[in-house]
Chain A
Amino acid sequence: MFIGAIGCEPLQLARVHLENSRSLDVYRKNGGYQAIKKVLDSMSPDDVINELKKSALRGRGGAGFPTGMKWSFVPKDSPKPKYVVCNADESEPGTFKDRYLMERDPHMLIEGMLIAAYALGAKTNYIYTRGEYRYLIDIMDVALEEARAAGLLGNKILGTEFGCEIYTHTGAGAYICGEETALLSSLEGMRGHPRMKPPFPAVSGLYAAPTVVNNVETLTAVPDIIKMGGEAYQKLGTEKSGGTKVWSVSGHVNRPGVYELPMGYDDMEKFIMEDCGGMLGGKQLKAVIPGGSSVYIMRADQIIGKDVRMDYEGIVAAGSSVGSGGFIVMDETVDVFESTKNLTEFYKHESCGWCTPCREGTDWLVKVFKRIAAGHGRPEDAQLMLDLCDNIEGKSFCPLGDAAAWPIQSAIKRFPEDFRKHLVTSIDSGVST
């Protein structure tokens, strides 16, 4: 498995190959905790937020919201405590970048959180990790302990008046808890249900106090932004998508792995065919899901020869989105009906049950998929599924409903032959359960 940067100097992945990369020593010897020193020595909280805005860093969790702007929404005059919460509930199918960042370079995350805490005036901060990443909690706890012992956590950090704490917390294995408000509910000890927005967490989040929830990769980008300056960081990428992006590549390529690419990397075809070592076994490329399961699936002919730029705007223009950067490559042997069925089963299993369309819609869709798979497909089923997706999309309480609908809608529209095949080869045309 490949881990490294292509087309740029590694930032996020700068230390992952070093021996003992988890240790405070190695981190410090390789430029670690310089950013927080710079911040505490010479920058005001507003300076930090301004650098973030200049950097054009967009949230790496999937929605791509500009991070500097998100931070600036936190009311400065609120008498309530403020919180920084790291969303390490990395559960999007096909996504495994945060896991490597935390596993190999936990101090980078701690430093990023310290800077965020300083910028927002937060004294208490949490790292919320998915239940299945239990081992990462141990790694983070060791790193936090090291940092605490070195005066990088607790009161008077690096001898200054600034002090804050970071705690780890695990979920119990629910995908929905990656949605920021559900994460906060879970962190508070309640059922992991999303909450109503507005109020947004920046105004009323954890314990109804102003809260910033950021993805691991977003926070780990912060130390480099401070060190090199927001402008320099932005220039690594494009105007609207600054810096670099870590992609988790899986599927039918010769060299899957964790790739750091500059935003605006040219182009997706080259990335698959050269950087990732080309298609496994020399087979034909059939489809790519570029941003974790919750984005539109792309046909090969939307990529081959289309010069797809790998950044937020480029991939949207090509008909999908960056999402979480879970880059899933599929070759000609894949039946997109089957792969979509698999994803739908995932969404059905993970639907929290709060709202009607997502809860009942995903359940129904899975039943339709299973019926078709059992040979009882009817010609009108494709239309039925599209209509059910339409009834979910835009009507659910949180984005999980949309996320469940998009893969199906795009799969049916872009790979109709894979669906038609199942609908036409029905054992009988009659209605069966």
Chain B
Amino acid sequence: MSTEVIKVNINSKEFEVPKGARLIDVCRDKGFDIPSFCYYSDLALQASCRMCLVRIEKMPKLQTSCTIICTDGMIVTTQSEEIEKAQRSMLEFLLANHPLDCPVCDRGGECELQEMTFDWGGLEERFIEKKNYAPEKYLSPMVANDPQRCILCKRCTRVCDEWMGEDAIEAGGRGANTVIGTYGGWLDCSQCGNCIEVCPTGTLLDGTYRHQARPWELAQTISTCSYCSDGCEMSLGSRAGELMRIVARDRYVNGHNGEFLCIKGRFGHPFVNHEDRLRTPLIRYKKGGKLIPATWDEAIRYTAEKLKAAAAAYGPDALGVVGSPRITNEANYALHKFATEVVGTKNYAATDAFSLKPFFDNLGAPLATHRDIRYAKTILLIGGEPEELQPLTAKQIRQAVSNGAAKLIVINSVPIRLVEHAAQFIHIRPGMENAAVWALGHSSNETTAAQKMGIEANELSALRQTITETEGDVVIMFGGELNAAAQMIVAQLANSFRADTRRVLLHPLPLYNNSVGAHDMGMMNGAMSVAEMLDATGSSIRALYVAGSFLPEHLRGREEALAKLDFLAVHELFETDTTAFADVVLPAASFAEIDGTFTNNDGLVQRVRQSIPPVHQAKPDWMITAALAAELGKDFGFQMSASAVFREIAERIPAYSGLRYPVLKDESNPVQARYNIVEPRDLSSALNELKQTVAALPDDGEKSNVTPRVGHELFKIGTLTDKVSQFHLLAAGNPRPDTVRVSPLYQITVDAKLERDAAVSGD
């Protein structure tokens, strides 16, 4: 939008507005309420609900304010008898075929149609005929559909197309018989449920929450998602100690993700109140024996004794402390403090196969926020698959391309779905991402690197040209394929591409909700990685204290590692492959039961808030660690307060300095950690190291031409999603019951859970 200012007269008041501003936005901004259903910021215009009609002088008819761009001297009336009648009549039309049984509708109480009718509608109903009828059905295991309630605002179809790039839902039929539905069969998509989120009526509903609760019974708690590193803000709806549902509807929460959530964030929460949650601390008094319930005091005392004994016998470095990229900053901080100040071991790490330490140590440019991505002009994606692993990032990329005309350049060994939106796709051989970075590091490497990658050298020069021709923001993203030297070069790439009219921003794509935070808390500074610790069990590592469990990829090929330990203590929600070897299992509280912070891949430090009391005897991880420290004679001074832990974090970790919980209060103004941006580094040794890596790469290899199936990562069953029956149905290929229109939940009790054995993942 230009900076030029024009004058617009609204309801006899003069306003100065930026040239190019949309009338509906201007009116609302200036305090004139205008109703609308189909107008949705940043989606294609629809102008079909006809609610936002205004009178503009010199125009013959009432005009939809959503389609009008303000012009200088425009005279607008938003309130008059004529306009009121039009708005009342549109609501009357919308309600004509809409059932008036709000008390049985899941949307009742938070329905835009309901609200709009109260605010703008008429008092009496003139429609006395029979309403059109269409049966309720499920569009997928996640999405319930009551077509009668549809007002055809088509937010759902636009969100599906523009946000998700999936086009799974579309209107069918004509006129008053138009219904929203699929092209046949169940919704063939990533089941993000954003169509449910944006639906202003009870047409598309959360199929897992159907008839479970009324919105006004729910306590809404604003928190941060515990799945991927995008860190979506969400609202946890709980009732009587039970987490009922998760939404992002912006009446409850207004985070950087807007109303966006993915399948995991929205539907992956039933693990919280699951019957398999650990109920008490457990102690295995004898190796090979059973885990026996114990009191907290007993479990803490027993653990402290065992750790003390191991340290006495083998020295403190024989004790390993393992944090997790899934738990809060507070929890990781407490573990780090425990390792360094209580045990005094140099062996501590976090269970993340992708350490961002080389990246942050050499950071040469700021991190891109998701908002930056949406308005970027060029986006370079090296490796990774954000559609499946960081869905919000993928959505921002799609919108940058389709709504903002950004250029997307994808370097990948498989044609991931985002390639469809790419201006350039550099299709490299598998495992060659480091070679791509080596080529970006210096143009003289391009020819050799291109040969290795199986591409033409001019593909790399075209990429370089696109970046150097960009005016505006360039965002460079990278996935977990990069090694340490390549991460260092990417972190420094900004120095070679920055210009007066061009900002270069970086966006790492780690896998977990707090991968970045685990790094920030220092859990990636230890002497050994998790894999190295597991390899050293029974020799230099004698005892491990682990928050969360080891990842399947860490345990694969190391099945005996945990059995070799003298002692293993684990914080967990459930019994896992790791707790099977544990001597003490301490029941931890899930993200819904605690206060804390996660740091996402933008570097945004966001609050996690307690929605329900800890289930059974669970405790927050940091509290367990503090209790253990106290037992070992060290008072962490946290008392019972997560905010005290965070205050200490802010005092000790420079990037977090000055932050306090009250500073992080407003999710609509997220706070980015202040990472140190280093002076340009000499990259020759990193380039040399990478040259060796590239030289060692094979000279041939088949490129995959198969676009990965939607959901191949999202639907994977891991420890948490394992507790959601719908994920089992999706993982089993989403089989639709052909003959009967039954609830998918019923269907699941009949024939799902089949694929449970196939479930291996760290989701």
- What is A's interface to B at a CB cutoff of 8 Å? 174, 191, 196, 348-357, 359-364, 367-368, 370-371, 384, 391, 394-397, 431, 433
Contacts and interface: CB of A to CB of B under 8 A. Distances in A.
A206 B96 CA distance: 36
Contact of A363 (B61, B132, B171): B132
B424 interface: no
Contacts of A396: 50
Most buried by B among A351, A359, A364, A391: A359
Interface string B87-105: 0011011101100000000
Given A351-B174, A352-B175, A394-B61, A357 B152 contact: no
B168 to A, nearest CB: 16
27 contacts: A196-B47, A350-B174, A350-B175, A351-B175, A352-B175, A353-B173, A353-B176, A354-B152, A355-B47, A355-B48, A356-B48, A359-B93, A359-B176, A359-B178, A360-B93, A362-B175, A362-B176, A363-B97, A363-B176, A364-B127, A367-B130, A371-B129, A391-B92, A395-B53, A395-B86, A433-B128, A433-B129
Interface in B39-80: 45, 47-51, 53, 61-62, 67
Given A350-B175, A355-B50, 11 more contacts: A353-B171, A353-B174, A353-B175, A353-B178, A354-B48, A359-B152, A360-B176, A364-B127, A364-B129, A384-B126, A391-B89
Contacts of A348: 175-176
A366 B152 CA distance: 20
A327 B45 CA distance: 38
B177 interface: yes
B232 interface: no
A397 B176 contact: no
A31 B437 CA distance: 71
Nearest to A358: B175
Dominant SS at the B interface? loop
Interface in B180-237: none
Most buried by A among B51, B94, B127, B128: B128
B151 interface: yes
Nearest to B129: A367
B77 to A, nearest CB: 15
A28 B42 CA distance: 56
Contacts of A368: 129
A353 B152 contact: yes
Contacts of A357: 50, 89-90, 93
A126 B634 CA distance: 84
Contacts of A431: 128
Contacts of B97: 360, 363
A397 B177 CA distance: 18
A352 B172 CA distance: 11
- Those 10 A-B pairs whose CB atoms lie nearest each other, nearest first: A391-B89, A360-B93, A353-B178, A363-B176, A367-B129, A351-B175, A394-B61, A355-B48, A353-B175, A356-B50
Nearest to B67: A196
Contact of B93 (A174, A364, A370, A384): A364
Contacts of B152: 353-354, 356, 359
A50 to B, nearest CB: 30
A320 B177 CA distance: 32
Interface residues of B, number: 34
Given A364-B127, A384-B126, A395-B50, A356 B177 contact: no
A361 B129 CA distance: 13
A191 B172 CA distance: 9
Contacts of B126: 384
Nearest to B92: A391
Interface in B721-738: none
Nearest to A401: B50
B49 A355 contact: yes
B175 A361 contact: no
A351 B178 CA distance: 10
Most buried by A among B45, B61, B176, B177: B176
Contacts of B50: 355-357, 395-397
A320 B53 CA distance: 28
Interface of B: 45, 47-51, 53, 61-62, 67, 85-86, 89-90, 92-94, 96-97, 126-130, 132, 151-152, 171, 173-178
A359 B96 CA distance: 11
A124 B67 CA distance: 31
A357 B86 CA distance: 10
A120 B178 CA distance: 38
Nearest to A191: B171
B301 to A, nearest CB: 69
A395 B96 CA distance: 17
A357 B89 CA distance: 8
Contacts of A352: 174-175
B179 to A, nearest CB: 9
Nearest to B128: A431
A174 B177 CA distance: 14
Contact of A174 (B94, B96, B174): B174
Contacts of A397: 47-48, 50
A394 B129 CA distance: 25
A368 B61 CA distance: 27
Nearest to A370: B129
Contacts of B130: 367, 433
Most buried by A among B45, B62, B97, B129: B129
B94 A360 contact: yes
Nearest to B88: A391
A238 B89 CA distance: 42
Contacts of B86: 391, 395
Contacts of A370: 129
Contacts of A359: 93, 152, 175-176, 178
Given A359-B176, A367-B130, A391 B171 contact: no
A300 to B, nearest CB: 32
B96 A364 contact: yes
A363 B45 CA distance: 25
A298 B49 CA distance: 33
Given A363-B132, A367-B129, A353 B177 contact: yes
B507 to A, nearest CB: 32
Nearest to B85: A391
A360 B97 CA distance: 8
Contact of A356 (B49, B129, B173, B174): B49
B741 to A, nearest CB: 24
B154 to A, nearest CB: 9
Given A356-B48, A356-B93, A394 B175 contact: no
Contacts of A349: 175
A36 B177 CA distance: 47
A363 B47 contact: no
A354 B126 CA distance: 23
A391 B175 contact: no
A174 B94 CA distance: 23
Contacts of B51: 356
Contacts of B61: 394-395
B93 A361 contact: yes
A395 B52 CA distance: 11
Contacts of B129: 364, 367-368, 370-371, 433
Contacts of B53: 395
B40 to A, nearest CB: 15
A387 to B, nearest CB: 8
Contacts of A191: 171
A196 B67 CA distance: 8
A351 B93 contact: no
B654 to A, nearest CB: 52
Contacts of B127: 364
Nearest to B154: A354
Given A353-B152, A355-B49, A394 B176 contact: no
A391 B49 CA distance: 13
A196 B50 CA distance: 13
A355 B54 CA distance: 16
A248 B383 CA distance: 66
Contacts of A362: 175-176
